[in-house]
Amino acid sequence: MARTGSGSRTAGLMARTLLTESDTRPAYTSCVPNNRTPVLKKLTPVLVVDREEPCVSFWTERFGFAVTNQVPGPNGPLVFASVEAGAVEVMYQTRASVKADLTEAVPSPCNGVALFIAVDDLDAVEAAVAGAPIVKPRHTTFYGSTEIYVREPGGFMVGFAEFTS
């Protein structure tokens, strides 16, 4: 989407457009079996980049964010990092790392942004996303979560994670 004005003006215009009564898109209806609608606790964008270091510096040096996670790759440079300030969190992962993490050949695994959502009940999420294209099947991570990644209809990768503690 091309930017034609200030960011806040564009965001306001988008919000008004989405909330108008003339919106002809069908309303969202849940098709979750047994009415087990998953509870989504926190949404964090995962920005897919070539290098994390300059991105982390942007947030820490300009906005006072704290580095909450850093995962170096086998050759030293970071392959994943996250920063946080209050309720705002931003994660970064390298394109090469995203491709390496996928267990199956998936064309264009990420459009530059992925969503990472913490949940209380991954079983309920798995039921809710049944039929969606699986990007990475359910798996356990070294950092204490069980996750599943799917592709949503817009083509973006969405990860759901249930943490054990």
pLDDT on residue 66: 97
Q: Is residue 1 part of a domain?
A: no
Torsional sign, CA 16, 18, 23, 27: negative
pLDDT on residue 114: 86
Is the per-residue pLDDT at 33 higher than 70? no
Backbone angles phi, psi at 163, to 5 degrees: -90, 145
Angle at CA 144, nearest 5°, toward 45 and 88?
30
Q: Is residue 115 part of a domain?
A: yes
Q: Is residue 24 part of a domain?
A: no
Backbone angles phi, psi at 43, to 5 degrees: -110, 125
Per-residue burial over 65-93, b = 16 or more CB atoms within 10 Å of its CB, e = otherwise? beeeeeeeeeeeebbbbbbbeeeebbbbb
Mean pLDDT in residue range 59-63: 88
Please report, rounded to a whole number, the percentage of residues in the chain having pLDDT higher than 70: 72
Q: Is residue 150 part of a domain?
A: yes
Which tokens sit at 68? 């909450």
- Summarised one tens digit per residue, pLDDT across range 86-132 is 988 999 999 888 888 775 555 555 557 889 999 999 999 999 888 88
Is the per-residue pLDDT at 165 higher than 80? no
Range of the domain at 114: 34-163
**Domain of 43: which CATH number?**
3.10.180.10
pLDDT on residue 102: 73
- Summarised one tens digit per residue, pLDDT across range 133-142 is 999 999 999 8
pLDDT on residue 110: 58
Torsional sign, CA 119, 125, 129, 133: positive
Is the per-residue pLDDT at 14 higher than 50? no
pLDDT on residue 16: 35
Q: Is residue 91 part of a domain?
A: yes
Q: Which amino acid is at 119?
A: V
pLDDT band at 20 (very low <50, low <70, confident <90, very high): very low
Q: Is residue 23 part of a domain?
A: no
Q: For the chain, how many structural domains are there in total? A: 1
Least confident range of 17-26, 47-56, 100-109, 122-131: 17-26
CA distances from 58 to 44, 78, 84, 86 (A): 17, 15, 12, 17
